[in-house]
Amino acid sequence: MSNSIPKPPSPCHLLSVRAKNSETSVEAPRSPPPEYRKQEQDSSIGQARKRAIAVLIVLTNLVPMISFGLGIGGGLIIGKSLGVDGPSQAAWIPASYSLTSGAFVLMTGRLGSIYGHKNVLLSGAAWWAVWSFINAFCDNFIAFNVARALSGIGAAMIVPNAIAIIGTTLPPGKMRNLSLGFFGAGAPVGGWLGALFAGLLAELTPWKWLFIFMAILGLIVFGSLALLLPPEDPTSKSEPMDWIGSILGISGLITFNFVWNQAPTAGWDSPYEIALLITAVIFFSAFAVWEHKFAKHPILPLSIFRAPSFFPLVIVVLFSFMSYATFIWYLVAWQQEVRHWSALSTSIGLTPIAICAAAAAFIAAWLISRLAAQWILAIGALAVLVSQVILATMPAQQSYWPSVFPATVIQSFCPDFIFTAAAIIASNSVKRDEQGIAGSLIGTLQLYATSIGLGFAGVVEVHLGGSGSESETVRGYRSALYFGMGLAVVALVICAVWVRMPKDVREGWQGDDAPTDLRQDKEGADSGV
């Protein structure tokens, strides 16, 4: 029996076999479908084009995260210009973007499986660029955040489908791990670049130029990607979209998030806060019932959670990124509101994030095949925990080096270690035609946790701090950071006790995970036909 996979038969050979089949019962070898052959041919045009596509795919995560970083680094400045003061209220500027980019990821990965990941990614890119441009001309706080939320929908269409393109193009192995590692580095590096641009441009130009710049940058990156990506055949185009499940899930996520991010301003004594919280619970309950009992093609198949230790993994990722968002936002607030640093000085102080996150991407990819995944996750959770402890216990007034510098260096390892391990576990645990769903789930956790984390932390800050003296302000910030510490502790304990994932040492597609054409050719080789 041959262990090699034979090349697809030539057209002349197929015609000969078909002629013989009219007289005999011998079945002709099954060849890849024309669409897949076309995709395979286009994707192997040349190494230079392959490398260019790989770089642009990584940039598709970097660009939306730069926009998120604009909200982090420039959120307080933009909020003041729009009549809003204080980090608990200005948190809507980064939170509105990550709210929709997290909530809609649940649906957009599935849309990519049905209509093509390339098509959905490029449609989302165009939507993102348009609303980023509109954002520049919003002159009140509500309109600004509505436009931010709408641009976040575009980001939700981009990220999971970019992950899926990596997952469906590269088989399990070192190349996929490295690509996902670079992709994961786009979040912290992009966030830092966004904060840097916000600080630089805010001191030189009106803030609207931040968003005009982002729209132009997006058009360049996404336009280049559109020219280079080969055609693709959707993996699940024959299956219908679970619109009811999508609407219920997204409605629950948005309502629940809105309640917590609005609570610092409205207070829990507001009737609409309680009503919306109950509404969110109803949406979530209806979503669970629909997906379990009625959905023929659920937007989130329960089988995804049957992988070993997968549900504890979800909790670890959620809590770790909630803690990470709390750290970043209150570090910026502390530097700008308490120590009166400029936005540019604050963003320069975050430079270790970019350097260390890039190193962490390499280290995480290298560790995946050498260290059990729970330990990679544990290192990420421990990194954000230690950084929270350093920040929460530093004095109100202090130079950059004793506390802020080591805290930023240490926490830089959290997002890359958590994201890379989670993405590879998810990608390698599901079938090839479920890559979009797996990408949606990881993307939802990363982005949605960033938004909901700011909401929870804002509630803690308002209720335990104050807005009068410096000591009251610092007490509120410390309380929010202590909350982030608690999240990191829970994530670390869950990881140590319940997450048990083996080392990933696979190279190449295996079994049912293989692309259809490879499985069919292997079957033909094994049967001798």
Q: Which long-range contacts (CB under 8 A, 24 or more apart) does 1-4 make?
A: 1/525, 1/526, 1/528, 2/525, 3/525, 4/525
DSSP symbols for 348-409: HHTHHHHHHHHHHHHHHHHHHTTS-HHHHHHHHHHHHHHHHHHHHTS-SS--TTTTHHHHHH
191 exposure class (CB count in 10 Å sphere: 0-12, 13-18, 19+): buried
**Which amino acid appears at position 401 of this protein?**
W
Contact status, residue 437 vs residue 304, Cβ threshold 8 Å: yes
Going by the DSSP 8-state scheme, the letter that residue 302 receives in this structure is G
Tokens of 126: 């165009």
Compare 353 and 391 and report the one with higher pLDDT. Answer: 391
* Per-residue pLDDT tens digits for 155-181: 999 988 887 777 666 666 666 667 776
Which percentage of the chain shows pLDDT scores above 70?
79
Give the confidence band of 516 by pLDDT, cuts at 50, 70, 90: very low
Contact status, residue 484 vs residue 323, Cβ threshold 8 Å: yes
First to last CA, the chain: 11
> Does residue 506 carry a pLDDT above 90?
no
- The mean of the pLDDT values for the chain is 82
The answer to which of 52-56, 86-90, 208-212, 304-308 has the lowest mean pLDDT is 304-308
> Does residue 529 carry a pLDDT above 90?
no
* Per-residue pLDDT tens digits for 272-328: 999 999 999 999 999 989 998 899 888 887 777 777 677 888 899 999 999 999 999
CA separation for the pair 71, 90 (Å, rounded): 9
User: Reduced to 3 states, what is the DSSP secondary structure of residue 509?
Assistant: coil
CA separation for the pair 333, 343 (Å, rounded): 10
> Does residue 86 carry a pLDDT above 50?
yes
CA separation for the pair 238, 521 (Å, rounded): 23
- The mean per-residue pLDDT over the stretch 52-77 comes to 89
> Does residue 10 carry a pLDDT above 50?
no
pLDDT at 419: 80
Give the confidence band of 525 by pLDDT, cuts at 50, 70, 90: very low
H-type alpha helices, 310-350: 310-333, 343-349
CA separation for the pair 166, 168 (Å, rounded): 6
Angle in degrees, 0-180, between the axes of helices 435-464 and 141-169, rounded to the nearest 10: 150
pLDDT at 519: 45
**Which amino acid appears at position 56 of this protein?**
L
* Per-residue pLDDT tens digits for 215-255: 999 999 999 989 988 887 776 677 789 999 999 999 999 99
CA separation for the pair 337, 76 (Å, rounded): 9
